[in-house]
Structure 1
Amino acid sequence: MIYTNLNYWRTGKMRVKENLLTESIPFPKKELFLHVICVEYLDKYQLKLTFNNGIEGIVDLEQELYGEIFEPLKDKSLFQKVYVNSRTIEWPNGADFAPEFLFEIALNKQPVSMVGDPVGYANKM
């Protein structure tokens, strides 16, 4: 997936190109960087995330829990203690993921919806 922002300053939208199809994803004009603004634990290692561009998506992090900082998160009681810090999700042990990485996973899983979009972003894909 390729993210380009050539028209960002003019339109406030980032372009996403995938398999020769192009979708326009809104990006807040006042926000230059992507942030996670809400997290909800679903099941196992799945989280429902809301980003500051209005996209909601589900991420499954089971395959990402390796290495010294992430191994403890295989304990589901710790994994469920996820919270949003100033820009992304974090756990009490200090583990976190870049919001851009989470956004890419969420897009690959098909966004659930676009907050505030009466038509529904998921219906456009």
Structure 2
Amino acid sequence: MIEVKSVETTDEFALLLTFNNGERRYFDMRPYLHYPVFRRLANPGFFSLAYVDYGTVVWPGNIDIAPETLFDSSVPIDSMPV
């Protein structure tokens, strides 16, 4: 089962994730910010409150996103153009 071990946020509404398999990946949250459940994350200050709980990324107010989604829809950091 894939789990998130750590998360960092960026000013561009992205998550830098480390998974329990050792992979570091980049997940762009911008396409998700129009969904009602994620609208509060459009506030940069609130977005930066992301943390890991029980293997996934969460925010205050019971906002979370499945670790499988984070893994499947992210790209390895080492494959990103510089």
Return the TM-score normalized by structure 1: 0.59
- Distance between the aligned counterparts of 2:33 and 2:52, measured in 1? 18
1:69 maps to amino acid? V
User: How far is 1:38 from its partner?
Assistant: 0.3
User: How far is 1:93 from its partner?
Assistant: 1.6
Q: Is structure 2 residue 40 aligned with structure 1 residue 72? A: yes
Q: Is structure 2 residue 10 aligned with structure 1 residue 45? A: no
Runs (5+) with no aligned partner, structure 2: none
Length, aligned pairs only: 79
User: How far is 1:43 from its partner?
Assistant: 2.1
User: How far is 1:68 from its partner?
Assistant: 2.9
Equivalent of 1:103 in 62, 71, 81:
71
Q: Please tell me whether Structure 1 or Structure 2 has the larger radius of gyration of its CA atoms.
A: 1
Identity over aligned pairs, percent: 35
- Distance between the aligned counterparts of 2:34 and 2:63, measured in 1? 11
Runs (5+) with no aligned partner, structure 1: 1-32, 114-121
Q: Is structure 2 residue 48 aligned with structure 1 residue 83? A: no
Kindly indicate whether structure 1 or structure 2 has the higher relative contact order, using CA contacts under 8 Å at least 6 residues apart: 2
1:51 maps to amino acid? F
2:41 maps to amino acid? L
Structure 1, 74-83 or 64-73: larger mean CA deviation: 64-73
- Distance between the aligned counterparts of 2:30 and 2:17, measured in 1? 15
Q: Which segments of structure 1 move beyond 4 Å, counting only runs of 4 or more? A: none
Q: Is structure 2 residue 26 aligned with structure 1 residue 55? A: no
Where 1:96 maps in the other structure, the secondary structure is strand
